[in-house]
Structure 1
Amino acid sequence: MDTSKKMAAGLTGLASMLWLGLTAAVAANQRRLVFNPTLEREVKSPRSSGHRTRPVVLRAKDGTRLAGWLMTPVIPGPRPAVLYFGGRSEEVSWVARDAGKLFPNMTVLAMNYRGYGDSQGIPAEIHMIEDGALLYDWLATRGQVDPQRIAVVGRSLGSGVAVQVARERPAHSVVLITPYDSILAIAKRRFRVMPIEYMLRHRFESIKYAPMLKAPTYVLRAASDDVVPHFHTDLLVAKLGALVADEVVPDSDHMTIPYLEATHDMVAGFLTRQFSAPVTPAAAAAVADAVANATPPVETTAAAPDLALTAK
């Protein structure tokens, strides 16, 4: 073999080794690529100006402790409710601060995923969906909540959780902020040379479940989004079974969109309109059946919630 052929063979072997090494690294670190747990509270002392706010600690099915906040309207009585799911790097204490504008006159539950904030455990798609369904059940069985009017709201990564929870539970309405078709599709575009479909466990394939959603669905996009390009949202929107509107928040990007006044007004307006509409007999029957069969998580350390929230 002449020198040029030996060099070519050597370069090919080196390229193959690098490709295999990179593939192995992606496979080994895929949880880090999909999830970016934030432990520190974004808001030190979260409190909604329009709600009574209290920290909540619940036990998941396997005993893992999940921590977050429950915001209850000041005016008593059964109220529409919102279950919120955050993004890849999102600690949800900011929701308690902004709930008065985002979710006026609505009960709100915002819980951190496993491994985020003061929640225990390790994040995984299967746990997020299972925990999300249990949180829905917990809300539906609370006295101050109208179980026929529970919306699920998900931002970015959380839009994939919201879609699957709304498929498994009779959600009244769905709000998806900067949603995607699937994490798998986004990963395949970013890692074009790797067999990512054989490596990625946490796929969040919302596009599979979108046609099954029966709840009125509202999509909000960022005006500029380099995390979830509009192409990925387009594919999801085309499959949604009950799309009400697909709108862009002016002067927003992927990171700023949840905090903007325009976003607050658009989400609050959509949910207020939806909650004011009559509930159909079929929807009421589905909710009654779900509540009757629910096994909600157990709330722990209710007498000293702040101590529980600091435990890891």
Structure 2
Amino acid sequence: MVWYLNILIYAVVVLVMVGIALLIAFQEKLVYVPVPPGLTKSYPITPARLRLNYEDVWLRSSDGVRLHAWFIKLFPDCRGPTVLFFQENAGNIAHRLEVVRLMLQKLQCNVFMLSYRGYGASDGFPSQNGITRDAQAALDHLIQRTDIDTSRIVVFGRSLGGAVGSVLAKNNPDKVSALILENTFTSVLDMAGVVLPFLKWFIGRNVAKAPRILNCLVRSPWSTIDVIDQIKLPILFLSGLQDEMVPSSHMQMLYAKAVEHNRRCIFVDFPTGMHMDTWLAGGDRYWRSIQLFLEQNVSGNRGSNKHSDTETR
């Protein structure tokens, strides 16, 4: 009986080690999906097809990588908020044009859509360090523009884009007016426990210090849970409760961590929202929630927001 238990323990240990080894070895392919199966890296459509007023923008990240973006305006002289939009993981910015078209109409805003390195027409290969540089390049470009109100730049990130946007907002509190997160995960390590359930017993947040140890081996940890409480800007959390990819508990944990240090946090959930369709499932309530958040927190005078102390749940 003892030998049987020993073999079972060894088998479990080997299985865990193999799982972690695979996670480390193939992490970029697991974390980033610029080209989903059956699709191509090129853009299937452009904003012109939707008759949107847009500009092709080419940027250089701080490490020299050439990046592509679309800057889409509601109309040429629109001085409303400018949304710096960071997309979900799979696919490219062209796959988000339909929701951006509605965003323009519902929010009366401009939208800057960045292709991360390795995505769409951008050069390079995705990594956390690289994408962080890309996001900074996009924000720096917007700050230098004279055709928008630079005091009304709002970072909007979905899923992976929420992790990207959180880092950018933390690093640029004086350049960003507000942050919107939708269906964002707490960290890549926590998501590993979702994709490979047996790993959660070894790398979950209930295992003391495990995430910190493994972060040394994970090249793209995207630990939003460790960033969110450092952001003092107004934050809107949009959560689809039927999210089949990122458990909705991740958004609840992010909100709980953020509100400990930031009273300007709003959490809105959508009972039928899934990972990719919360904006559809939420209907008018989804857009009204964002409209109200922008009206209350993005007035065009960044300084006027600093004394607000309102929490809504």
Query: What range is the shorter-chain TM-score in?
Result: 0.7 to 0.9
Q: 1:201 aligns to what SS in structure 2?
A: coil
Say whether residues 1:27 and 2:35 are aligned partners.
no
Report the CA distance between 1:205 and its aligned residue.
1.5
Report the CA distance between 1:77 and its aligned residue.
5.7
Say whether residues 1:150 and 2:171 are aligned partners.
no
TM-score, normalisation: structure 2 = 0.78
- Alignment-mate amino acid for residue 142 of structure 1: R
Cα separation, partners in 2 of 1:12 and 1:222, compared to 1, 3 Å = closer
Aligned residue in 1 for 2:139: 136
Aligned partners of 2:82 and 2:154 also within 8 Å: yes
CA distance in 1, matches of 2:232, 2:16: 43
TM-score, normalisation: structure 1 = 0.78
Match of 1:228 among 230, 236, 246: 246
Aligned residue in 1 for 2:74: 73
For residues 236-277 of structure 1, give each alpha carbon's deviation from its aligned partner in whole angstroms, at most 9, with x where no partner exists. Answer: 101222444211235321122245544762465146414663
Aligned partners of 1:48 and 1:98 also within 8 Å: no
Cα separation, partners in 2 of 1:118 and 1:49, compared to 1, 3 Å = closer
Uncovered stretches (5+) of structure 1, i.e. residues with no partner: 285-312
Report the CA distance between 1:203 and its aligned residue.
1.4
Report the CA distance between 1:212 and its aligned residue.
2.1
CA distance in 2, matches of 1:77, 1:267: 22
Say whether residues 1:55 and 2:56 are aligned partners.
yes
Query: Relative contact order, CA 8 A, sep 6+: which one is greater?
Result: 1
Report the CA distance between 1:280 and its aligned residue.
4.6
Q: Could you say which structure has the higher strand fraction?
A: 1
Aligned residue in 2 for 1:192: 200
Aligned residue in 2 for 1:160: 163
Match of 1:273 among 267, 273, 295: 295
Aligned residue in 2 for 1:219: 237
Report the CA distance between 1:49 and its aligned residue.
5.7
Identity among equivalent positions (%) equals 23
Report the CA distance between 1:95 and its aligned residue.
3.6
Size of the alignment, in residue pairs? 281
- Alignment-mate amino acid for residue 59 of structure 1: R
Report the CA distance between 1:51 and its aligned residue.
4.5
Cα separation, partners in 2 of 1:103 and 1:59, compared to 1, 3 Å = same
For residues 205-230 of structure 1, give each alpha carbon's deviation from its aligned partner in whole angstroms, at most 9, with x where no partner exists. Answer: 11222222222111111130132212
In the TM superposition, 1:230-249 aligns within 5 A as 230-240=248-258, 241-249=262-270
Aligned residue in 2 for 1:118: 121
Cα separation, partners in 2 of 1:48 and 1:269, compared to 1, 3 Å = farther
CA distance in 2, matches of 1:217, 1:48: 33
Cα separation, partners in 2 of 1:142 and 1:51, compared to 1, 3 Å = farther
Uncovered stretches (5+) of structure 2, i.e. residues with no partner: 204-209, 307-313
CA distance in 2, matches of 1:274, 1:37: 35
Aligned residues: CA RMSD: 2.9
CA distance in 1, matches of 2:266, 2:201: 36
- Alignment-mate amino acid for residue 192 of structure 1: K
